[in-house]
Amino acid sequence: MADSLPLPVGNVIDLEKVRVTFGGKNKVTALSETSFRISHGEFVALVGPSGCGKSTILKLVAGTLAATEGHVFVAGREVDAESARIGMAFQNPTLLPWLNVRDNVMMPLKIVPPYKKDFSRKKRGEYRDRVEASLARVGLAGFGDKFPWQLSGGMQQRASLCRALIHDPTLLLLDEPFGALDQFTREELWEIMQQLWIEKRPTVLLVTHDLKEAAYLASRICVMQARPGRIVDDSEVPFARPRTIDISFQPEFVSLTQRLRERIVAARTVQEDTA
Amino acid sequence: MNENVRRQILSIVCILGFFVAWEVLCLIFNVSDIVLPRPSQILVTLWTRFPAIWPHAVQTLYTTLVGFALGIAIGVLLGILIGSSRLAYDVAYPLLVGFSSIPKVAVVPIFVLWFGAGTVPAVLTAMIMCIFPIVVNVATGLAATEPELQDVMRTLRATKWEILWNIGLPRTMPYFFASLKVAATLAFVGAVISETVASNRGIGNLMMIASSSFDVPLVFAGLFILAILGVALYAGFSLIEGRVTGWAVRSENFTGGG
């Protein structure tokens, strides 16, 4: 792997015996006791059937959901108001319809310190250049003045990626951001995503149910199982980077995705037996 | 001819047609101007007695606009409070619904008792008339804000205030402007009710005096003035609405956002 950049040691994400349950009387365990770590610069994919707790882990780390038991650490500190810089891209582009693409992408610079304090003053022009450069990077040069509804779904998702990365997050959370796209757009965005990761080496947690996507992008894949949600498999992805789409036709790649598929199918069968 | 221009011309012709029909029917059936004056008579009255009418028109416009401005300020604040706090919602909503069910004409004497007849009760009546739709719409707009949009901000560790300012309020703008168009016309109703009951100035007072002396054309002249002012205010807000909330209707010439 292209581990050329010097990375800080330690974990970016650290789940310590975390449990999440919902509901009062008829408790549903969304996540049974789980410990889970991601170190700096890793690209980890969480795969599994729907309802297995993938999104629960993502929400815990994003700080939009509190753990019932246990501790969630992001960059060595418990998840709370003053946590690490996080960028997130969602399944829907979730761009704000009243702002043009440029202002949408600029939004994190308006909210996140230390960019925030310079936002209304001297650095406005600098930020603008930064946004334009980032848009150009994903093939959206010249679209800054457009409004979200004037763009196709793929273009909106590109802008959403730009927004997730504009403030140089230490942790990038991806919640099936390529799920709703057609295959060719998806593969194009995988390539862009991989390039961005190699250049900036953020720590990435990707939630997906596309095994090919996980194997193409991630350096580590965790398989989850439902009822109760837990991690049942954790394996490294050995392929060298930069990977191309051709790699997905190689026998090693096919056998990896095949093995993951079997793991998930097996998990589903167990789940149906106990249900 | 452009489709848009044709539609506008057609609508103008229809509106003029309404007044022409009114005129013609009054002439055919020989309707007395004490019952229903013809539009031409009303226009003549407006023209010849304009010096007597216009101070009243200015007074009504003044009380309406001041009341409307106060209504917007209080309405928006209350709407934000109710829309963002469950407790405020539970407490304020029943009170608000109860209050808005009271006929405003019953409140005017109380205002007169407190502040004396004249401008102040008119302003206050206009204000309480237009608060309700604004509060309801602002609160609804805030409550209807998509949780996904809020999540975007929450992962960035935005404060509640930042979420309100960057997501909640812009999202609420279409609701807010829809309510303004209703509230603007209600503000006129409020001001005129108060002037009718307790004032010696304003269109309401003018119509009151005119009707007691059977000067029906003057009554209708007052109604015309009110209608024109109402339409003007409505049109003004429609114009601003198009500028500010064009994104909501995906208007091609919307260039806001800054």
| Domain span(s) for CATH 3.40.50.300 in chain A | 1-84+171-189+201-275
CA angle A197, A201, A203 (to 5 degrees): 95
Tell me the whole-structure pTM to 2 decimals. 0.80
What pLDDT is stored for residue A199 in this prediction? 87
- What is the Cα–Cα distance from B86 to B95, expressed in whole angstroms? 15
The number of beta carbons lying within 10 Å of the beta carbon of residue A255 is 10
Q: Chain B residues within 8 A (CB-CB) of chain A?
A: 146, 148-149, 151-158, 162, 166-167, 170-171, 173, 245, 247-248, 250, 254, 256-258
Query: Using an 8 Å Cβ cutoff, are B192 and B256 in contact?
Result: no
Question: Under 8 Å CB-to-CB from A152, ≥6 apart: which residues?
Answer: none
Interchain contact, A83 vs B157, CB within 8 Å: yes
Which of B152, B156, B257 lies at the smallest CB-CB distance from A94? B152
Q: Do B151 and A94 touch (CB under 8 A)?
A: yes
pLDDT band at A3 (very low <50, low <70, confident <90, very high): very low
Kindly state whether A16 is in contact with chain B, defined as any CB-CB distance less than 8 angstroms: no
CATH tag, A1-84+171-189+201-275: 3.40.50.300
Single out the residue of A173, A139, A174 nearest to residue A156, CA to CA: A139
At residue A237, the 3 state secondary structure works out as coil
Q: What is the mean pLDDT of each run of 10 residues along chain B (258 residues)?
A: 86 94 93 89 92 92 96 94 87 87 88 90 93 92 87 86 91 92 91 89 91 91 92 89 82 55
The CA-atom distances, in angstroms, between A47 and each of A17, A51, A209, A260, B40 are 20, 11, 5, 9, 78
- A58-72 burial: b if 16+ Cβ within 10 Å, else e: bbbbbbebebeebeb
Can you give the pLDDT at residue A2? Answer: 45
pLDDT band, residue A117 (cuts 50/70/90): confident
pLDDT at A45: 93
| pLDDT on residue A111 | 87
What pLDDT, on the 0 to 100 scale, is given for residue B219? 93
Residue A34: pLDDT band with limits 50, 70, 90 = confident
Which residues from B are below 8 Å from A173, CB to CB?
A: 155
d(CA B256, CA B241): 11
Torsion on CA atoms B154, B156, B160, B161, rounded to nearest 10: -150
Contact predicate B79/B175, CB 8 Å: no
Query: What pLDDT, on a 0 to 100 scale, did the predictor assign at position A36?
Result: 86
Alpha carbons B242 and A200: distance in angstroms, whole number? 42
* Closest-CA residue of chain A to B252: A150
Q: Determine how many CB atoms are found less than 10 A away from the CB of residue B161.
A: 9
Q: What CA–CA distances, in Å, run from A33 to A14, A220, B189?
A: 13, 21, 64
Q: What is the pLDDT of residue B252?
A: 61
Summarize pLDDT for A173-195 with one digit per residue, the tens.
Answer: 999 888 888 888 889 899 999 99
Q: Where are the alpha helices (DSSP H) in chain A?
A: 54-62, 101-111, 124-137, 153-165, 183-200, 211-217, 251-274
Q: Tell me if A134 sits within 8 A of A105, measured CB to CB.
A: yes
Task: State whether residue A44 is helix, strand or coil.
Answer: strand
Shortest distance between the Cα of A85 and any Cα of chain B, in A, equals 7
Other C-beta atoms lying within 10 Å of the C-beta of residue B164: 21
pLDDT at B97: 87
B254 contacts in chain A (CB < 8 Å): 147
Give alpha helix (H) positions in chain B: 3-28, 39-48, 50-84, 86-101, 104-115, 119-143, 147-155, 160-163, 169-197, 203-212, 216-245
Residues of A in contact with B167 (CB under 8 A): 96
C-alpha distance from residue B98 to each of A126, B80, B90, B95, B132 (Å) = 54, 19, 13, 5, 11
Residue B169 CA to residue A148 CA, distance in Å, equals: 19
- pLDDT for B121 equals 93
